[in-house]
Amino acid sequence: MVQKIQIGAKNQWQYQFDNLAQYDNRGREYKYDVAEVVNKNYVTQKDGYDFINVFKPIYIKIHGHKTWIDNDNAEKTRPKQITVKLIKNGKMIHKKVITAHQKWNYEFNQLEKYDEKGDLNRYQIEEDPVKGIKLILMVLI
């Protein structure tokens, strides 16, 4: 490696290498090439000394099940529905209402595994409180 440079918005995604030797000490001409280290969310295409990065997110899904520990609803206190919230990096991004008809299962699809910087997105599930019901268990699969 002769030179290394970091490019970004600050330098308008452009680079230039200066003061490169044209010939070695025996008079043979150097042949230079460039390579790029890319974010895991991108596919890189190279055209001469130009790079084209195409965003290709990796998608995941999160699914889970509400478990009731209430002696099969013996006291008839179980609600008809509950709401679960999907939290991404500390911000609520989606809500779903789930019921017995869905067997208390939920699923969130097409979730980007990494953010635009290449860092892993952090997802969590929260359940809205239900009057008279204490949350005991929420299982993510």
The residue type found at 81 is: Q
- Say if 32 falls within a structural domain: no
User: What is the pLDDT, as a whole number, of residue 57?
Assistant: 86
Which CATH number covers residue 123? 2.60.40.1140
- Say if 29 falls within a structural domain: no
* pTM for the predicted model, two decimal places: 0.64
- Say if 12 falls within a structural domain: no
3-state secondary structure the chain: CCCCCCCCHHHCCCCCCCCCCCECCCCCECCCCCCCCCCCCEEEEEECCEEEEEECCCEEEEEEEECCCCCCCCCCCCCCEEEEEEEECCEEEEEEEEEHHHCCEEEEEEEECECCCCCECCEEEEECCECCECCCCEEEC
Q: How many domains does the chain have?
A: 1
Q: Which residue has the higher pLDDT, 43 or 125?
A: 125
Q: How far apart are CA 127 and CA 104, in angstroms?
A: 12
Distances (CA, A) of 79 to 10, 52, 67, 100, 128: 54, 53, 13, 9, 12
User: What is the pLDDT, as a whole number, of residue 141?
Assistant: 42
What is the arithmetic mean of pLDDT over 99-114?
A: 96
- Say if 52 falls within a structural domain: no
What is the arithmetic mean of pLDDT over 69-74?
A: 90
pLDDT digits (tens, 9 = 90+) for 17-46: 888 899 999 999 999 899 888 777 788 889
What is the arithmetic mean of pLDDT over 68-74?
A: 90
- Say if 48 falls within a structural domain: no
pLDDT exceeds 70 at position 48: yes
- Say if 113 falls within a structural domain: yes
- Say if 76 falls within a structural domain: yes
pLDDT exceeds 70 at position 6: yes
Q: How far apart are CA 42 and CA 56, in angstroms?
A: 5
- Kindly indicate the confidence band of residue 140, based on its pLDDT and cuts at 50, 70 and 90: low
What is the arithmetic mean of pLDDT over 96-123?
A: 93
> 63: domain range?
59-140
The tokens for 46 are 């190279």
- Kindly indicate the confidence band of residue 7, based on its pLDDT and cuts at 50, 70 and 90: confident
CA nearest neighbour of 126 among 117, 134, 135: 135
- Say if 45 falls within a structural domain: no
